[in-house]
Amino acid sequence: MSTMTIAKAINEGLRATLRNDPKSFLMGEDIGSLGGVYRVTEGLKAEFGAHRVMDTPLAESGIIGTAIGMALRGHRPICEIQFDGFVFPAFNQITTQLAKIHTRSDGQLSAPVVIRIPYGGGIGSIEHHSESPEALFAHTPGLRIITPSNANDAYWMIQQAVECKDPVIFFEPKRRYWLKGEVDTENAPGDPFKAHVVREGTDATLVVYGPLVPVALAAANAAAEDGHSVEVIDLRSISPIDFDALETSVNKTGRLVVAHEAPTFGGIGGEIASRISERCFYSLEAPAIRVGGFHMPYPVARVEEHYLPDIDRMLEALDRAFAY
Ligand X SMILES: Cc1ncc(C[n+]2csc(CCOP(=O)(O)OP(=O)(O)O)c2C)c(N)n1
- Would you name the residues annotated as active-site residues? 129
Encode burial over 76-111: b for 16+ CB neighbours within 10 A, e otherwise: bbbbbbbbbbbbbebbebbbebbbbbbeeeeeeebb
Listed ranges 104-112, 117-125, 161-169, 226-234: which one lies at the site for other proteins (CB under 8 A): 117-125
Q: Does position 84 bind ligand X by CB under 6 A?
A: no
Q: Does position 189 bind ligand X by CB under 6 A?
A: no
Contact present, 161 and 170 (Cβ < 8 Å): yes
Cα 186 to its chain centre, rounded Å, is: 23
Contact present, 181 and 6 (Cβ < 8 Å): yes
Binding partner of residue 91 among ligand X, other proteins, none, CB cut-off 5 to 8 Å per kind: none
CA distance 235 to 13: 20
Q: Does position 131 bind ligand X by CB under 6 A?
A: no
Contact present, 97 and 105 (Cβ < 8 Å): no
CA distance 61 to 64: 6
Nearer to other proteins, 62 or 270 (CB): 62
Q: Does position 196 bind other proteins by CB under 8 A?
A: no
Q: Does position 82 bind ligand X by CB under 6 A?
A: yes
Contact present, 57 and 83 (Cβ < 8 Å): no
Binding partner of residue 300 among other proteins, ligand X, none, CB cut-off 5 to 8 Å per kind: other proteins
Contact present, 200 and 245 (Cβ < 8 Å): no
Q: Does position 316 bind other proteins by CB under 8 A?
A: yes
Footprint (CB under 8 A) of other proteins, residues 38-57 = 55, 57
CA distance 301 to 110: 41
Nearer to other proteins, 43 or 58 (CB): 58
Nearer to other proteins, 126 or 197 (CB): 126
The SS3 of residue 197 is strand
Among 4, 22, 34, 210, binds other proteins (CB under 8 A): 34
Q: Does position 285 bind other proteins by CB under 8 A?
A: no
How many residues lie near ligand X (CB under 6 A)? Answer: 6
Contact present, 10 and 172 (Cβ < 8 Å): yes
User: Shortest approach of ligand X to residue 175 CB, angstroms?
Assistant: 18
Listed ranges 81-89, 133-141, 206-214, 232-240: which one lies at the site for ligand X (CB under 6 A): 81-89
Among 129, 228, 236, 260, binds other proteins (CB under 8 A): 129
Among 108, 186, 227, 296, binds other proteins (CB under 8 A): 296
Among 13, 18, 29, 102, binds other proteins (CB under 8 A): 29
* Torsions phi, psi for 205 (to 5 deg): -110, 125
Q: Does position 58 bind ligand X by CB under 6 A?
A: yes
Listed ranges 180-188, 191-199, 228-236, 293-301: which one lies at the site for other proteins (CB under 8 A): 293-301
Contact present, 97 and 151 (Cβ < 8 Å): no
Q: Does position 132 bind ligand X by CB under 6 A?
A: no
Among 25, 27, 29, 169, binds ligand X (CB under 6 A): 29
Contact present, 231 and 206 (Cβ < 8 Å): yes
Which stretches does DSSP call E strand in 90-220? Answer: 114-119, 144-146, 168-173, 180-183, 196-199, 204-208
* Positions in the binding site for other proteins (CB under 8 A): 29-30, 33-34, 55, 57-62, 85-86, 88-89, 123-129, 291, 294-297, 299-303, 306-307, 312-313, 316, 319-320, 323-324
* Positions in the binding site for ligand X (CB under 6 A): 29, 58, 60, 82, 86, 89
